[in-house]
Amino acid sequence: MACDKPMTLDYLPLGSLGPEVTENVEMVAAGANIYSVVTKNGDLYDLRNALEARKMEFDGEKVVSVSVGGEHVGAVTESGKLYMWSYGHNNYGQIGNNSTNTSQDPVKVLENVKFVELGIYTSAAVTQDGSLWMWGLNDSGQIGNGGTENQLTPVKILENVVSFSQTGEFCAAITKDGELWMWGANYGGQIGNGSYENQLEPLKILENVAFVSLGFDTSGAVTRDGKLYVWGNIKAVLPDGPGAKTVPECIVDKDVVSVSLGEYHIGVVKSDASLWMGGINVYGQVGIATVDVQGNLEKVMDDVMCVRLTRNYSTAVTLDGTLYGWGQSYNSTYTQCGRIYREPQKLLEDVSIP
């Protein structure tokens, strides 16, 4: 998310960063005890363990996007160069430097990169020509190269990719013609290949797809004509739904714009900008003012632009640019640590979605 007005980071532990940084933030990415902050002029600062601030250098280039995995970071510069580094180990090759030696200094890994997306121990990048490249941990086939050995350098997996998502264990990519391809771990049937066997190479699952979201062991996709499909352990996110499915199941046949999956809940935005939610609700993450299980989709808000769910927390941005959150936050971002909100709470104004 980006802000039309200057975004401040009063809610983050800023270490030694001064107002010249905190009052001019363009984007923030977070991992395990790491924040990467990119300013509006393209400078990147890493914050480790809420104390140590470090300005990163990229041969004089400015940064246009950043992603943080578990303890590794990837940044794309204005010329499309992808630099990688890590504050932990590199045992799985997630930096992409053709070794398991770690580096806290940026290492150039690819060129002509459009965006980078990191998992806990996996890395992925899409280049300007739509090629998807992956590297790192591959114990469940999540790299998609046909094997299960860790990948120490980027390997090309797919072409014509316009959208990519990963959990660190399984992956999904949408191509420019709307094909949805998936691969990786499949313990809940979330790949959609008709089995519970891991998928070691990309497999086409659906066509005419506009949007995809990955949960813990559930997947969801919205087609260009507004249908919502879900598969995997559906009962975890929609207790009164169709149960476990190893192939996509249509549960809403029209008017869906986007979907987001948490570990045990689901959020759906419809074409009238209404937000519908369901699932396990122990921490109020469904937003229905109780902790009762919501077995089917129920309307929670109006005028919603998008919804994003994490494990036990939900966020939504409305059409007027207001950010709302509810459920249990695991850090101090905007809320007191561990406090539970059972209804949407207003968090921030003037938010826009890039």
Domain assignment present for residue 147? The answer is yes
Q: Which of the residue ranges 171-185, 201-215, 311-325 would you say has the lowest mean pLDDT?
A: 311-325
Per-residue pLDDT band at 339 (split at 50, 70, 90): low
Per-residue pLDDT band at 13 (split at 50, 70, 90): low
More confident residue, 85 or 351: 85
Domain assignment present for residue 224? The answer is no
* pLDDT (0 to 100) of residue 9: 44
In the numeric block, which tokens belong to residue 285? 């993450």
Phi then psi dihedrals of residue 22, to 5 deg = -70, -20
Radius of gyration over alpha carbons of the chain, in Å? Answer: 20
pLDDT in tens, 39-73: 999 999 998 865 678 899 999 999 999 999 989 99
More confident residue, 249 or 328: 249
Domain with 128 in it: what CATH number?
Answer: 2.130.10.30
Domain assignment present for residue 182? The answer is no
CA distance 339 to 335: 7
Share of the chain above pLDDT 70, in %: 90
Domain assignment present for residue 284? The answer is no
Q: Which of the residue ranges 6-10, 56-60, 113-117, 182-186 would you say has the lowest mean pLDDT?
A: 6-10
Question: What's the rounded mean pLDDT across residues 320-347?
Answer: 72
- pLDDT over threshold 70, residue 82: yes
> How many structural domains comprise the chain?
1
- pLDDT over threshold 70, residue 332: no
Q: Choose among 149, 107, 156, 154: nearest CA to 135.
A: 154
Q: Which of the residue ranges 129-138, 143-152, 334-343 would you say has the lowest mean pLDDT?
A: 334-343
Domain range holding 144?
A: 1-159
Domain assignment present for residue 89? The answer is yes
- pLDDT over threshold 80, residue 286: yes
Domain assignment present for residue 95? The answer is yes
CA distance 164 to 236: 24
* Integer angstrom CA distances of residue 118 from 123, 137, 139: 4, 11, 16
* pLDDT (0 to 100) of residue 48: 82
Domain assignment present for residue 196? The answer is no
More confident residue, 38 or 14: 38
* pLDDT (0 to 100) of residue 329: 67
Question: What's the rounded mean pLDDT across residues 195-207?
Answer: 98
Per-residue pLDDT band at 7 (split at 50, 70, 90): very low
* pLDDT (0 to 100) of residue 283: 86
- What's the mean pLDDT when you consider all of the chain? 90
Q: Choose among 139, 32, 231, 58: nearest CA to 45.
A: 58
- pLDDT over threshold 90, residue 142: yes
Per-residue pLDDT band at 351 (split at 50, 70, 90): confident
CB contact set of 18 (below 8 Å; sequence gap of 6+): none
* pLDDT (0 to 100) of residue 104: 95
* pLDDT (0 to 100) of residue 47: 86
In the numeric block, which tokens belong to residue 204? 């086409």
Domain assignment present for residue 73? The answer is yes
* pLDDT (0 to 100) of residue 51: 64
Q: What is the dihedral of CA 31, 33, 39, 42, to 10 degrees?
A: -60
Strands laid side by side in the 52-56 sheet: 25-30, 34-39, 44-48, 52-56
